[in-house]
Amino acid sequence: MRSFGGNGQRRAGRGRRGWRPGAALLAAAAAAVFMHGLSGAAAADEVLGQFRDWTAHTYMQDGAKMCSMYSRPLKDEGNYTRRGDIWGFVIHRPADNRIGEVSFAMGYPIKPDSPVIVEIGNQRFELFTDGEGAFARPEDDPKLVRAMRAGLEMVVRGVSTRGTATKDTYSLRGFTNASNAINRACDVN
């Protein structure tokens, strides 16, 4: 499994209650995706469904139920010879009062202090980065999810530590149904 950067420590000042999910949570979500893809649903996992281009599931982490949805880009562009796994996630962790957190595994170490940009229609969101992960700010999570629910396509742009610019195009077909599935599973309104 790939590491998504960082040391898994909670990072002060990055979000709700003083910290963001950071690389550890992104890596856990990616691990659940990886395990599901290789061996089917693990005992603690429940696949909620495949909704066109998005998959929804629940799993347990540190004794708490998590609900996650994820997708891969339909198209990834950039002048690179090798790139790791690329994923987009929306995660609920109700036990920690963290709902609708949007993140991306970019598949490469992101250039320090450079944002990842998400564009949906005429809306633009700037995400902060940590290692290979990009994360929406807590105040932007609900806006970004609303835009994803209403949109058809999402473009995610980033720059690697080597200076390579990338453009990943995700389909948002099925996003609303997958979002509804994780909302029901985690009792989120």
Give the model confidence (pLDDT) of 71-126 as tens digits: 999 999 999 989 999 999 999 999 999 999 999 999 999 999 999 999 999 999 99
Q: Give the pLDDT mean for 137-166.
A: 98
128 — pLDDT class (breaks 50, 70, 90) = very high
Instruction: State residue 12's pLDDT score.
Output: 30
Q: Residues 87, 100: contact at Cβ < 8 Å?
A: no
Q: Residues 86, 70: contact at Cβ < 8 Å?
A: no
20 — pLDDT class (breaks 50, 70, 90) = very low
Q: Which of 11-25, 43-57, 158-172 has the lowest mean pLDDT?
A: 11-25
Burial of 181 from C-beta contacts in 10 A (0-12 / 13-18 / 19+): buried
Beta carbons within 8 Å of 40's beta carbon, 6+ residues apart: none
What is the secondary structure of 135-173 as a DSSP string?
E--TTTHHHHHHHHHH-SEEEEEEEBTT--EEEEEEE-T
Q: What is the pTM of this model?
A: 0.80
185 — pLDDT class (breaks 50, 70, 90) = very high
